[in-house]
Structure 1
Amino acid sequence: MNFLFAWRYFKAKKSTNAINVIAWVSMIAIMCITFAFIVVLSVFNGFEGLVKSLYSSFYTDIRISPAKGKLITLTKEQLQQLRSNPQVRHYSLMAEEKTLLLNDDIQVIADLKGVDSNYKFVAGVPEKMFRGSFLTGNEEYPTLVLGNGVENALGVESDKNVFPLTVYLFKRGATVNTTNPYESFAASNINTAGTFMIQADIDNKFAITNLAFMKRMMNLGPDEYSAAEIALLDGEKADEVKKQLRSIFGEQYRIETKYEQNQSLYSVMTMEKWATYGILTLMLIVAAFTMIGGLTMLVLEKQKDIQALKAMGADNRLVQKIFLSEGILLAGIGAGAGIVLALIFCWAQVRFKLIPLEGGTFLIDYYPVKILPQDFVLILITVLFVAILASWFPSRKAALQPIELKT
């Protein structure tokens, strides 16, 4: 019944046109903010999904690394247990160390990562080749796959480079000889095979070669590695598999899921999204003040109706519900219109790429959009809460109106 009264009050002609104007202004404001809510959060979701897909090309579902130091020991028994886990699709062993790459007089410090033949099954780097091929060679004839930033810093084109680079790695257990520092380093020539491009902080840091070459350069034992990276059949079960692997490897190993390997990045992205949600909520609260003004004027307009209802037996609670329903109706119409417009806009952005990304240096040339159902639920709850809060004060005023049929 209360919504029936609210609908009649919404459609009825008011004695003061300002009431209609304020009501429409409040609806339009809520519509615009709801539209902004969905579009902005969907763009955040789009960028988040894009960044996660890029990082997923380099960071695997699970990584096993040393809790202390730089090396871990993986025995045949441990690797057999790893293989026997039904959720493990593939795993790759690697040796990684800081290295100095030298091209004539150009020196670049990079993280050199030696990987085995299974690496192409656990990471998506081979699919992100920008130039040349993903070839790491063998122990005697190693080849190097460079990150795009490392390649630019060295001033080479990896697929056309005729002269080999020189690789310097600090010898294990060696002390620095100040007279001849190069005696403290293992050195070797290495040719380039290709360049990958994933994301700037990866491209500017990493180069990849084969595991046997790196183990020789680092003087590692047969069971010594820097890390093991694992691809799962179902990435959603990473936390469950992590617990299983913990029982195999123990506390001296650091076992991290994909998100734990980049926790700071995902934390910042989450904080940015919630900060944006907070700003838009404040805008919605400001817009709700127009609703408060409109409903207050409506209460003054309908004083005689309120008194008549009370004379007919309506209690304060029913009167308050009527004007609360009026506020929810205004917010509902505004939010519904905003959702429809946002869905149309998001579809058009995906289909026609209406808003391009400036600069032309990113992997895509338009703002990505991804609509999530939980965002709709959150936005509707937020709009409903603010609408009820804004309607409570004028509805309470209406409920406390005394019965004065004679004036």
Structure 2
Amino acid sequence: MIWQFASRYFRAKKSTNAINIIAWVSVSAIAVGVAALIIILSVFNGFEGLVKSLYSSFYPSVKVSPVTGKSLHLTPAQLKQIAGVKGVAHMTEVIEEKAVLRYGDGDQTIAILKGVDSNYNKVAAVDKSIVRGHFDTGDDLAYRAVLGLELEMALGVDVEKSLVPLTVYLPRRNITSVTTPEEALGSGILYPSGSFAIQQDFNSKYVITHIAFMRGVLGMAPDEMSALEIGARPGVNDNDLKASLQQLLGKGYEIQTRYEQNQALYAIMQTEKWAVYVIMSFIMVIAAFNMIGSLYMLVMEKQKDITILKAMGARNSLITRIFLTEGLIIAGIGTLIGFTISIVFCVLQDKYGLIKLEGQSFLVPAYPVSMHLADFVLVSITIIVIGLAASWYPARRAGRQHVALKAT
């Protein structure tokens, strides 16, 4: 009965046309707010998915590193046990160290040298991001280097044509005293073979080479490494795999999922998304003032109906619920219209790229979008709360309206 009264009041023609106009203005304001919020959240989801896909091509599903110090030792028996853990697809030994690079007689620059073994591209996907040359870390005859694209440009390297090697300087280990700076550094040469383009942080910092080169220059043992990077099997949860590895290896090793390796980045992205949600919610609260005015005028319009209902025995709570429901109907219609607009826009944006990204340096030509069911649920709950809050005062006033029956 409550919904019947509320829907009839919404559809019925009012004595003053302004009431209808204000009601539909309220619906339109909510529809625009809902559509804008869903679209913005979908754009954030799109960028988040894009960033995660870029980072997943460089970072492994799970990384095993030392709790203290810069290196760890894993025996062949331990590596075999790790490979037998359920969910482990591939693993690769890596050694990372900051190095000074010099190309020919050019300027020097500091980069992160990352030595990898032959399984590296089964765990990461850097070989799929090669833009010049090819992915080749070399062998015992000649060690090679795959550079980030921006680092290649900064050094003036031409990975496709030049035969001039890179000179690499790495800090020696276990040096107690030195008389000249050169004694503290070990050196070697690498021949550029290719360049990759993933993301600026990687492109401007990393050089990938053979792990044997790193062990030789740094004087590391055959079972010594900076970290063990592990690729999970499809469908395996990274947290579950981390728990299994932690149980196997114990507390002497730090094990991080892909999210934990980039926790600061993901936290910033989530914070930005929630900040936008809060701002847009405040905008919808302001838009809800139209609903307050519309319902207040409707209460005045239906004074006679309220008097009759109370004379028939309706309690104040029933009258209040009728006008609360009226507010929910206005909010619900606006929400459905907003959802329709946002879905149509996101589908067209995803398919045709209606709004382009300015500039030529982006990996995608248009704003990426990704609609998530959780966003629709969150927005629906938000609108229900705002609708009830905006309807409360007019509905409460209607419930407390004084009954005045006149005899004729």
Match of 1:299 in 2: 299
Q: Is the 8 A contact 1:175 1:184 kept in 2?
A: no
Match of 1:110 in 2: 111
Match of 1:14 in 2: 14
Match of 2:174 in 1: 173
Determine the C-alpha separation between the residues in 2 that align with 1:303 and 1:156.
83
The count of aligned residue pairs is 406
Output the amino acid matched with 1:54.
L
1:49 aligns with 2:35: no
| Higher alpha-carbon deviation: 246-255 or 397-406 | 246-255
Output the amino acid matched with 1:147.
G
Output the amino acid matched with 2:134.
S
Output the amino acid matched with 2:200.
A
Q: Residues 98-120 of structure 1, C-alpha deviation per residue, up to 9 Å, x if partnerless?
A: 11110122111111001000001
Output the amino acid matched with 1:330.
I
Shift of 1:139: 3.0
Q: Which runs of 5+ in 1 are unaligned?
A: none
Q: Which runs of 5+ in 2 are unaligned?
A: none
Determine the C-alpha separation between the residues in 2 that align with 1:139 and 1:391.
77
Q: Is the 8 A contact 1:60 1:123 kept in 2?
A: yes
Match of 1:146 in 2: 147
Q: Residues 163-191 of structure 1, C-alpha deviation per residue, up to 9 Å, x if partnerless?
A: 1110111111225745x312221111211
| Higher alpha-carbon deviation: 306-315 or 256-265 | 306-315
Determine the C-alpha separation between the residues in 2 that align with 1:139 and 1:229.
23
What are the within-5 Å matches in structure 2 for residues 79-98 of structure 1? 79-98=79-98
Query: What's the RMSD between the two structures over aligned residues?
Result: 1.2
- Paired residue secondary structure (1:131): strand
TM-score using structure 1 length: 0.97
Shift of 1:140: 3.4
Q: Is the 8 A contact 1:140 1:213 kept in 2?
A: no
Output the amino acid matched with 2:401.
Q
Q: Is the 8 A contact 2:87 2:236 kept in 1?
A: no
Determine the C-alpha separation between the residues in 1 that align with 2:236 and 2:3.
45
Determine the C-alpha separation between the residues in 2 that align with 1:292 and 1:283.
15
Q: Residues 186-234 of structure 1, C-alpha deviation per residue, up to 9 Å, x if partnerless?
A: 1112110000110001111110001111110110012111110000114
Determine the C-alpha separation between the residues in 2 that align with 1:252 and 1:217.
27
Output the amino acid matched with 1:170.
P
- Paired residue secondary structure (1:188): strand
Determine the C-alpha separation between the residues in 2 that align with 1:204 and 1:250.
35
Q: Residues 335-379 of structure 1, C-alpha deviation per residue, up to 9 Å, x if partnerless?
A: 100100111000110111100000110101100000011111111
- Paired residue secondary structure (1:23): helix
Shift of 1:235: 5.7
Q: Is the 8 A contact 2:132 2:196 kept in 1?
A: yes
Q: Is the 8 A contact 1:96 1:113 kept in 2?
A: yes
Percentage of pairs with the same residue: 49
Determine the C-alpha separation between the residues in 2 that align with 1:298 and 1:375.
32
- Paired residue secondary structure (1:393): helix
Shift of 1:330: 0.5
Match of 1:135 in 2: 136
Q: Is the 8 A contact 2:106 2:155 kept in 1?
A: no
Shift of 1:405: 2.3
Match of 1:195 in 2: 195
Output the amino acid matched with 2:64.
I
Match of 1:58 in 2: 58
Q: Is the 8 A contact 1:78 1:248 kept in 2?
A: no
What are the within-5 Å matches in structure 2 for residues 203-282 of structure 1? 203-234=203-234, 236-282=236-282
Shift of 1:236: 4.6
Determine the C-alpha separation between the residues in 1 that align with 2:298 and 2:28.
18
Match of 2:161 in 1: 160
- Paired residue secondary structure (2:48): helix
Q: Residues 68-121 of structure 1, C-alpha deviation per residue, up to 9 Å, x if partnerless?
A: 110001012211110111210000001111111101221111110010000010
Determine the C-alpha separation between the residues in 1 that align with 2:240 and 2:351.
38
Runs of 4+ in 1 over 3 A off after TM superposition: 175-178
Output the amino acid matched with 2:175.
A
Q: Residues 279-318 of structure 1, C-alpha deviation per residue, up to 9 Å, x if partnerless?
A: 0110111111110111011101111110001111211121
Determine the C-alpha separation between the residues in 2 that align with 1:255 and 1:86.
16
Change over 3 Å in CA distance of 1:322–1:243 after alignment to 2: same
Q: Is the 8 A contact 2:137 2:144 kept in 1?
A: yes
Match of 1:70 in 2: 70
Q: Is the 8 A contact 1:304 1:405 kept in 2?
A: no
TM-score using structure 2 length: 0.97
